[in-house]
Amino acid sequence: MKRFVYELSESWKIAVAQMRSNMTRSTLTALGVIIGIVAVTLMGTAIGGIQVGFDKSMAIFGDDVLYVGQWPWRKVDDWWNYRDRKKIKTEYAEGLNRMIAMTPNSNLTIAIPTSSVYRSVKYTDSEVNNVLIRGTVSDYIITSTFDFKEGRFFNELETRGGANVCVIGYDVADALFPSASPIDKLVLINGQPFKVIGVISRQGSFLGLFSLDSIVVMPLPAFQKYFTAKSEAEILVKVKDKTKLSAAKDELTGLMRRVRGLPPEKKDDFSINEQQALKSTLDPIKNSMAIAGLFITGLSLFVGAIGIMNITFVSVKERTKEIGTRKALGARRGTILLQFLIESTALCLLGGFIGLSF
């Protein structure tokens, strides 16, 4: 044991001396490891950030809400069949709510009608384009996940009366009112004045594709007065227990068939979407990005390892005479091998520590 410790300490001293005498070569070798470690760290952070952003984007849709629409949230080859479907009507929500109330032990809580278009929003000389204008009812707040920066949501009285009031998203408020509160201010939407009664807190973007803060929400009757052309309706249905989402989806399918008056032999002419369906569609893309990132980082480490292997090989070739002399003086094969292993290990550790420090 004492001999091994002595050989280890001597090998370490020789390795350090060798690296100092070939400083440029040692630095370039360690650089390969540094780049590999930095690549691993950055890619790990990037993959973690993608996962966090993905989960945050998915959470916006809620894991206990079903969405009834004309189109499914997945890629379809026979898109023309979906295009020719009858439009979803906001009136369906009333029929659904009546049947939910009459169904004992229903898995559904409430159906919320929504209708949406894209328009510009103006205030004095400022204007925001391509804003999602959504008409809905006061119970919409039950199915939503947003908080308020200031103000409130419209109430049932304002909904039934079709009041010209609205709640605006963070980006809309920031663009139109950069240094003032928008509460009680009048904005023009489609040439009509609407009083701002609330501002939604920042929600971010959905996977970086579109902003969730560029939105205006107003009472559905007011929406239907001014935005009838090219609006797209959707019914949001709250589920009582998210662990029974599949049963709730089956129940909603039956109720929607009754609302649409579909005979038993006809296929569903509507789509019931959910967060999990969208997640399963996007998961392969996210996983492919993660695999590609891991491959790139693995390749970086492999290149660094090849560099160390080549430098070690050159070092052995340069010191052939030294190795022969040491063997002639009685040095064991394992002792000589240990020296070169310590040199390569030291280079790896040096590069690793520097790489992790970035």
How far CA 87 is from CA of 78, 95, 164, 225, 231, in Å, comes to: 17, 16, 26, 19, 10
Q: Choose from 170-179, 267-276, 289-298 the range with maximum mean pLDDT.
A: 170-179
pLDDT in tens, 106-147: 999 999 999 999 999 999 889 999 999 999 999 999 888 888
Gap between the Cα atoms of 208 and 192, Å rounded? 31
| Helix then strand then coil, % of the chain, to nearest 5 | 55, 20, 25
Res 210 pLDDT > 70 = no
Amino acid 4: pLDDT: 66
Beta strands 165-168; 192-200: pairing state: parallel
pLDDT in tens, 8-57: 777 677 777 777 777 777 777 777 778 778 877 888 787 777 777 777 76
Residue predicted with more confidence, 63 or 101: 101
DSSP string, 187-248: EEETTEEEEEEEEEPP--EETTTEESSSEEEEEHHHHHHH--TT-EEEEEEEES-GGGHHHH
Closest C-alpha to 120, from 172, 179, 51:
172
DSSP string, 102-161: HSTT-SEEEEEEEEEEEEEEEETTEEEEEEEEEEE-TTHHHH----EEEE----HHHHHT
pLDDT in tens, 249-277: 999 999 999 988 888 888 888 888 887 77
pLDDT in tens, 77-99: 676 777 778 888 899 999 999 99
Q: Give, to the nearest 10 degrees, the angle between helix 333-357 and helix 2-21.
A: 60
Res 190 pLDDT > 80 = yes
